[in-house]
């Protein structure tokens, strides 16, 4: 009985791997560091593994129908699904970042914050999200661009970091300017970012 259940598990797993390969090939994955091609080839290896397990545990007359499906081809490890969609979404996200009031506030304030405080609140890391996306678009780095398809998480980071900056206390012995407050909400002229 246990052997039969294991054989059914292999058949079901094989079927799931074929389905997953098709989904990745058409829609892509969400891996933040690897292109879809790398993951597609990994799934392909899983397909070979489950076919081998079926051969080990079953007689040829017992092989499930899914066993006879052709293995998917090996793909270029750099392959990415939805390339045009990823590029379009990344460009839209970059526009949102650059227009975001919290992002603009952080860019204006970054140089005036005490280095120790700046490091504690990770302000440079946060504002570099936009720079990183800009660079990825220039290099056509689709894996990085895909991480930015949904801008909301990054916009929340801008808002959270801006809140921390607004709540900073001036370091001891630092004098406040009589022309501006330490919270940095004074209006400044818009300036073009130079990357």
pLDDT confidence bin for 181, thresholds 50/70/90: very low
Kindly state the percentage of the chain with pLDDT values over 90: 82
Query: Mean per-residue pLDDT for 29-49?
Result: 97
By C-alpha distance, which of 33, 31, 193, 32 is closest to 127?
193
Whole-number Å distance between alpha carbons of 27 and 35: 12
Statement: residue 81 has pLDDT above 90: yes
Residues 113 and 88 in one domain: yes
- Domain of residue 22 covers 2-68
Q: pLDDT at position 169, please?
A: 82
pTM of structure: 0.81
Sequence-distant (6+) residues with CB within 8 A of 38 are 31, 77
**142 is a domain residue:** yes
In the chain, the percentage of residues whose pLDDT exceeds 70 is 85
Does the residue 73 lie in any domain? no
Q: Provide the number of structural domains found in the chain.
A: 2
118 and 63 both lie in a single domain:
no
Is 178 within a domain? no
CA distances from 148 to 3, 76, 94, 161 (A): 46, 23, 8, 18
Report the pLDDT value the prediction gives residue 103, as an integer from 0 to 100: 98
How high is the pLDDT of residue 6?
75
What pLDDT shows up at residue 159? 98
Query: How does pLDDT run across 153-168, given as a tens digit for each residue?
Result: 999 999 999 999 999 8
pLDDT of residue 36: 98
**Both tokens of residue 41?**
């080839």
Whether residue 91 sits in one domain with residue 151: yes
């Amino acid at each position: 009985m246990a052997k039969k259940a294991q054989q059914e598990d292999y058949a079901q797993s094989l079927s799931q791997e074929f389905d997953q390969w098709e989904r990745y090939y058409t829609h892509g994955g969400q891996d933040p560091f690897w292109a879809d091609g790398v993951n597609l080839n990994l799934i392909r290896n899983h397909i070979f593994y489950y076919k081998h397990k079926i051969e080990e545990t079953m007689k040829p007359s017992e092989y499930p129908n899914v066993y006879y499906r052709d293995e998917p081809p090996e793909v270029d490890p750099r392959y990415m699904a939805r390339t045009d969609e990823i590029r379009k979404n990344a460009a839209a996200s970059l526009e949102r970042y650059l227009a975001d009031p919290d992002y603009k506030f952080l860019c204006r304030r970054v140089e005036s914050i005490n280095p120790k405080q700046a490091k504690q609140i990770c302000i440079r890391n946060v504002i570099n999200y936009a720079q990183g996306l800009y660079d990825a678009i220039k290099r056509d780095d689709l894996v990085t661009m895909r991480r930015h398809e949904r801008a909301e998480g990054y916009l929340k980071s801008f808002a959270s970091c801006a809140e921390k900056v607004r709540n900073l206390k001036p370091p001891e012995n630092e004098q406040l300017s009589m022309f501006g407050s330490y919270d940095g909400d004074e209006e400044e002229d818009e300036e073009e970012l130079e990357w």
